[in-house]
Chains A and B, each alone.
Chain A
Amino acid sequence: MDGDAARYTGCRMKAPASTVPPRAKRPLTTISGVPVEPLYTSEHLADFDPARDLGEPGGFPYTRGIHETMYRGKLWTMRQFSGFATPEETNRRYHYLLEQGQTGLSVAFDLPTLMGYDADHALSEGEVGKCGVSISSLEDMETLFRGIPLGDVTVSMTINSPAAVLWAMYLAVAEKQGADWARLSGTIQNDILKEYIAQKEYIFPPRPSMRLVTDTIEFSACRTPRFNPISISGYHIREAGSTAVQELAFTLRDGIEYVDWALERGLTVDEFAPRLSFFFNAHNDFFEEIAKYRAARKIWAYVMRERFGAKDERSMKLRFHAQTAGCSLTWQQPYNNIVRTTIQALAAVLGGCQSLHTNSLDEAYALPSEHAVTIALRTQQVIAYESGVTAAADPLGGSYFLERLTLDTERAAGDYIRCIDEMGGMIAAIEQNFPQREIANASYEYQKAVEAGGKIIVGVNAFQSDHEDAIEILQIDQLAQEHQAGKLAALRATRDNGRVRASLDALRRAAEGTENTMPFILDAVRAYATLGEICDALREVFGSYQETSLV
């Protein structure tokens, strides 16, 4: 601790006069550019109907939260997204996080895994273990969860295009541990639409990808009733530079698309809708973010009841995970990031999140060091146990400003949703580059405003220091690739390769037809077919996707 204190006092927050912004530059709009008036009174809520717009916590339309008692009954799950280098090293980090009081796990995979390539593929060169943990086979997945009982811990996995394969590996590990699938609880992200829109980690074209997602939703409804087969994500849309309204609208419209496909498959809405989950960004603008979460619950409740005729209340309740905004964190004066993250996390909590990841102060440098991730977790614990905000449900409900902002956010998102409906749905909109173009425009406008000094980023374009602290950075083992490739070579030499070939042939035939692919993927995984081999079999049938580049 002495070392840290010394580092803090070493940083003099000197603000030369020229970098102090004049009073007029303090925000008069939200960070997304929505004008804000100087004062809100009851006159701003003339069109506000508490029964229609608000309800009570735990009651339709759930604007105030999905539980009657909210955090008094159950705190949100503190779930730090984590993964790096080899499964062995990440397994050690998971044990550390659980010992520190974290209540759920969240797996970050490296880019080869996200793109469906094995660690020894030519395109994996230089990328293995860098952005997350490298997983190429069931053997790696067994190592990742060694000593962690999957029947007891909830696990979230950020995996999209090859989600069915990684989920099959997870289910196979649970099976080997003797855990009952019906009791497994966790989430796979599995949201392919936002990949085409924002994050761009896609393998197959949109329609076969949607078929795979629908296969997992159907399989989950039958076999893993407590598992969330999808986390419909606005996080990446926001990180790509969207406004708060775009994040909300595109995410909910993605949700509508998944429901349409599952209904088309022959499922009834209340069979699967209770297990749809969501994932939103927690950005800097405190009230805009809280309004976004409240509007999300309200819109979804009405969509499920009116548009899809859901009868089960659980289908109408939008449950969401939040992560603080990585894109808001700065390389300059990195300790300020702890403060930004605290404000963002507080917005997520006051907005009624079910689980939360807080980013670490070194976000703009590297994957988090153990020291940085511990502060990020402590931030949540301080909010939960010291701030007092958990005592009453939706403590900001009824605020003139917040209720106005919630209504306006809902209406602006509704306009986007109708616009995409008119285009023929989200896949048609993606094919026309509509959401991609809207986000690129918003992100460029924002950057220009930052450049012009119209948006202040403390430490970057105002209040700069003449001295920057050196911070501790996590170094990824350069030998991770070699280590992973070595294990794969050994696996390929010792497994039953006849069984692998037969399982991949069966999967190819299933993919060509209309059967649910999950049982075939499970068979291939159990035979220790690798991620790359399984994705290659699917690439042969489905083809690969290339976007038309748009600047």
Chain B
Amino acid sequence: MSPPIRVLVAKPGLDGHDRGAKIIARALRDAGMEVIYTGLRQTPEMIVNAALQEDVQVIGLSILSGAHNAIVPRVMDLLREKELTNVKVIVGGIIPDEDAADLKRQGVAAVFQPGASLEEIVDFVRSSVPA
């Protein structure tokens, strides 16, 4: 049996609305993954350091405040700097279509908008990590 997929669920920015991040963390855990939840108000630096230390394959960022265009590119830059480009980044939250397309061009693996199902997200994480 292959070891469980390791996922970092992170809540960057000043926003405290963590309902979505917590539900995703639980759903991934219930799907058999090892989930590390960072807690609130993590800077891109803190998130990338945690990803390095915890040796995760996937980072999930929950952003509802509209600050994604400032935060996500910074996370992607830091991952490149630390040579963690094999870590998949997924973003969930209130992300307009045009911004979602931009984020994907910058290397984000998937963007999940409101109404996305847990099943869809769990399946995506599973399929994005090589067995």
Contact surface of A with B, Cβ cutoff 8 Å = 111-112, 114-115, 117, 123-127, 130-131, 195, 199-202, 239-241, 327, 330-332, 364-366, 440, 443-444, 447-448, 451, 457, 460-461, 473, 476, 546-547, 549-551
Contact = CB atoms under 8 A, between A and B. Distances in A.
Contacts of A451: 117-119
Q: Which size bracket describes the interface of B in this complex?
A: 20 to 34
Given A130-B65, A365-B94, A551-B35, A443 B22 contact: yes
Interface of B: 13-19, 22-23, 25-27, 29, 35, 37-40, 43, 65-67, 69-71, 94, 96, 113-115, 117-119
B16 A444 contact: no
Contact of A199 (B16, B27, B67, B113): B16
B26 A130 contact: no
A127 B65 contact: yes
Nearest to A451: B118
A435 B116 CA distance: 27
B70 A440 contact: no
Contacts of B70: 125-127
5 contacts: A111-B65, A126-B70, A126-B71, A331-B114, A364-B114
A200 B17 contact: yes
Contacts of B69: 126
A200 B29 CA distance: 23
A473 B96 CA distance: 9
CB-based closest 8 A-B pairs: A126-B70, A200-B16, A549-B39, A130-B66, A331-B114, A111-B14, A126-B67, A551-B25
Contact of B19 (A117, A241, A330, A460): A241
B94 A111 contact: no
A130 B67 CA distance: 8
Nearest to B12: A126
A349 B72 CA distance: 42
A200 B11 CA distance: 12
A117 B14 CA distance: 10
A451 B115 CA distance: 10
A551 B15 contact: no
Contacts of B119: 451
Nearest to A481: B70
B67 A332 contact: no
Chain A CB within 10 A, most for which of B17, B40, B113, B119: B17
Given A327-B19, A332-B115, A443-B23, 13 more contacts: A117-B14, A126-B67, A127-B65, A200-B17, A200-B18, A200-B40, A330-B115, A331-B114, A365-B96, A447-B23, A451-B119, A551-B35, A551-B37
Contact of B39 (A112, A443, A547): A547
Given A440-B22, A551-B26, A131 B65 contact: yes
Nearest to A122: B43
A127 B94 CA distance: 14
A130 B94 CA distance: 12
A330 B39 contact: no
Contacts of A447: 23, 27, 118
B66 A330 contact: no
A200 B23 CA distance: 16
A457 B114 CA distance: 12
Nearest to B28: A551
A332 B117 CA distance: 13
A199 to B, nearest CB: 6
B115 A112 contact: no
Contacts of A112: 14
Of A365, A457, A461, A476, chain B has the most CB atoms within 10 Å of the CB of: A365
Contacts of B94: 364-366
Contacts of B96: 365-366, 473
A201 B29 contact: no
A61 to B, nearest CB: 33
A327 B115 CA distance: 11
A112 B17 CA distance: 15
Nearest to A446: B23
Nearest to A461: B117
Contacts of A365: 94, 96
A117 B41 CA distance: 13
B130 to A, nearest CB: 26
A546 B16 CA distance: 12
Contacts of A444: 22-23, 26
A453 to B, nearest CB: 11
Nearest to A124: B14
B19 A127 contact: no
A349 B17 CA distance: 28
Contacts of A117: 14
Contacts of B39: 546-547, 549
Contacts of B66: 127, 130-131, 366, 476
B18 to A, nearest CB: 6
Contacts of B37: 549, 551
Contacts of B18: 200, 240
B13 A331 contact: no
Contacts of B27: 447
A219 B123 CA distance: 55
Contacts of A440: 22
